[in-house]
Amino acid sequence: MGHHHKILTFKTFTLLILFITLCFSESYGQSAVDSVDLNKVYQKRKKKFVKNKYLKNLNSFNQLLPTCYKTSDSSNFNLQIDEYYINKSINTVWNQYKNIDLKQSYSGNLVKFGFLYCKTENKIIYSGDKSYRGMREGQVVFIRLDLLKGIKKLVVAYEITEIDETHKTIQFCYIKNGISEGSQKIFLSETPNGNTKIIHKTFFKSNSKFRDKRIYPGFHKRVITELHQNLINSLH
């Protein structure tokens, strides 16, 4: 009787180990850097999205770290403020920011969508995926910027770190190992005539003061203007 009990215990232990191994393998597989399906990345230079400085020497997307702006280090950061106005109610604009289709959001001459990794769901999402349910905290977005009329192409990654429903703000931070560090924050407010004002604040720094003062501000304004314009166009 005792021998039979030991056999059952051993079998149970073996099954438990197998179950844990399978769960770990499945979870790791979904977050593994080499699990990106390049056939679903609608870009000419697809390999750039998995062979970039952000993912170098990383095995899992969960190892990606945001480099958010800290007020205690404000003296080392540059600040850029841009404003936009939309002739729609604040709730309409807010809901569209959170739920706009990825293809609509990143369609333009300067910005192209690559893929998105959701840390909370441990899942890669591509343009057109029906599983995409809108913007969420913990999403890491990989996009491509076309510089100098497409002559130079740069992959940029950022993480959505805060969505504040009460104050209608969205914050996302640059991912570590990129050219820039810092945060971008979008503030929505209602105008006296019932429309929406958008303030887009960018806190940034890099290893080059020349780049931060002479190159980044102008190009960055063009990029975010294209993104906000995509949203405005989607409301018509």
pLDDT at 12 over 50: yes
- Say whether both 17 and 104 belong to one domain: no
Residue 107: the pLDDT is: 84
- Report CA 158 to chain centroid distance, whole Å: 4
- Say whether both 7 and 107 belong to one domain: no
Consecutive H or E run containing 54:
none
- pLDDT one-digit tens code per residue, 96-132: 999 999 989 998 889 999 999 999 999 999 998 988 9
Structurally, the chain folds into a number of domains equal to 2
- Say whether both 72 and 20 belong to one domain: no
- Say whether both 97 and 156 belong to one domain: yes
Contacts 24+ apart (CB under 8 A), 61-65: 61/31, 61/32, 61/33, 61/117, 61/119, 61/124, 61/140, 62/31, 62/119, 62/122, 64/117, 64/140, 64/157, 64/159, 64/175, 64/176, 65/175, 65/176
- Say whether both 76 and 8 belong to one domain: no
* HEC string for 116-166: EEECCCCEEECCCCCCCCCCCCCEEEEEEEEECCCCEEEEEEEEEEEEECC
- Say whether both 13 and 110 belong to one domain: no
- Say whether both 100 and 212 belong to one domain: yes
- Say whether both 138 and 23 belong to one domain: no
- Say whether both 13 and 78 belong to one domain: no
- Say whether both 102 and 17 belong to one domain: no
Question: What residue numbers bound the domain in which 14 lies?
Answer: 2-31
State the pTM of this model: 0.84
- pLDDT one-digit tens code per residue, 56-89: 888 899 999 999 999 999 999 999 999 999 999 9
Residue 10: the pLDDT is: 54
- Say whether both 133 and 146 belong to one domain: yes
Conformational region of residue 80, where left means phi above 0, alpha means psi within -120 to 50, and beta covers everything else = beta
Conformational region of residue 108, where left means phi above 0, alpha means psi within -120 to 50, and beta covers everything else = left
User: What is the spatial distance between Cα 177 and Cα 43, in angstroms, rounded to a whole number?
Assistant: 22
User: What is the spatial distance between Cα 206 and Cα 229, in angstroms, rounded to a whole number?
Assistant: 27
- pLDDT one-digit tens code per residue, 191-227: 999 999 999 999 999 999 999 999 999 999 999 999 9
Exposed (0-12), middle (13-18) or buried (19+): which is 165, by Cβ within 10 Å? exposed
- Say whether both 15 and 109 belong to one domain: no
Q: How far separated are the first and last CA of the chain, in Å rounded?
A: 76
Q: What are phi and psi of 211, to 5 degrees?
A: -65, -45
